[in-house]
Amino acid sequence: MTTTPDEPQVPSSVPPPAPPAPSGYEAASTPVAPPAYTPPPDGGYAPPPAPAYGAPAVGAPLSDADQRLWAMLSHIGAIVLGFIAPLVIWLIYKGRGQFVEEQAKESLNFQILVAIAYVIGTVTSVIGIGFIIIPVVWVAALVFEIIAGLAANKGEAYRYPLNWRLIK
């Protein structure tokens, strides 16, 4: 065995060092292609078509008990949330039940009227009349909303007295 002074002398019985283990950050030497798409056979599962842009996505029809519940919540929820509760219920459940849709619209129309009455009461507070209008509107709205909620829970269509029906 001939060696030069620059090469270290290694005994021949020692095996060479093992290469370092891959850390997982190295690029794969051969990329693996994904399998080709094969369409399902006839009669296989095909997803339903998506609704067109702007078309309402209608869900399953509501049962009578669910319609009564959501109609009641559209009236009673207005006590706490104002026009937001009937608006959300109407937008979510329109097309799924005629009773809940009609009652949510009726409640929403009433809440618009109540909001207009509050604005009038606030503006007329400057001359003192608004301090009478606002409490009267609040009590009347509370009473009518509770009556409407109880009627809707029984399955009876309720129509608010003195209501503008702006949303038809």
What's residue 163's pLDDT?
Answer: 84
140 pLDDT band, cuts 50/70/90, is very high
Cα end-to-end span (Å), the chain: 103
- What confidence score (pLDDT) does residue 95 get? 85
Asked whether the predicted pLDDT for residue 69 surpasses 70, the reply is: yes
Q: Calculate the alpha carbon distances from 92 to 67, 103, 154 in Å.
A: 12, 13, 22
* Among the ranges given (50-54, 67-71, 131-135), the one the predictor scored with the smallest mean pLDDT: 50-54
Residue 23 lies in a domain: no
Q: Examine residue 103 and state whether it is found in any structural domain, yes or no.
A: yes
Question: Is residue 41 in some structural domain?
Answer: no
Over residues 71-99, mean pLDDT: 91
Q: Judge contact between 62 and 92, C-beta under 8 A.
A: no
Residue 32 lies in a domain: no
What average pLDDT score do residues 74-99 get? 91
Mean pLDDT to the nearest integer, 2-27: 64
| Per-residue pLDDT at 39 exceeds 70 | no
Domain span at 118: 64-154
Provide the domain count of the chain: 1
Is residue 20 a part of any domain in this protein? Answer: no
The answer, yes or no, to whether residue 27 has pLDDT greater than 60, is no
Look at residue 125 in the predicted model and tell me its pLDDT: 93
- The reply to whether 160 falls in a domain is no
Percentage of the chain surpassing pLDDT 70?
A: 67
Could you give the CA distance from residue 36 to residue 30 in angstroms, rounded to a whole number? Answer: 18
**Residue 29: per-residue pLDDT:** 60
Q: Is 10 a member of any domain?
A: no
Lowest mean pLDDT among 13-17, 20-24, 74-78, 143-147: 20-24
Residue 78 CA to residue 90 CA, distance in Å, equals 12
Q: Read off the tokens for 41.
A: 């056979």
- Taking the C-alpha atoms of residue 95 and residue 25, their distance in angstroms, rounded to an integer, is 54
| Among 77, 96, 97, 95, residue whose Cα is nearest residue 87 | 77
pLDDT at 88 over 90: yes
Residue 120 predicted with pLDDT over 90: yes
Task: Specify the higher pLDDT residue, 24 or 117.
Answer: 117
- Distance (Å, whole) CA 126 – CA 29: 81
Q: For residue 1, is pLDDT > 60?
A: no
Across 128-162, b (16+ Cβ under 10 Å) vs e yields: eebeebbeebeeebeebbeebbebbeeeeebebee
The reply to whether 49 falls in a domain is no
- Count Cβ atoms below 10 Å from residue 78 Cβ, excluding itself: 27
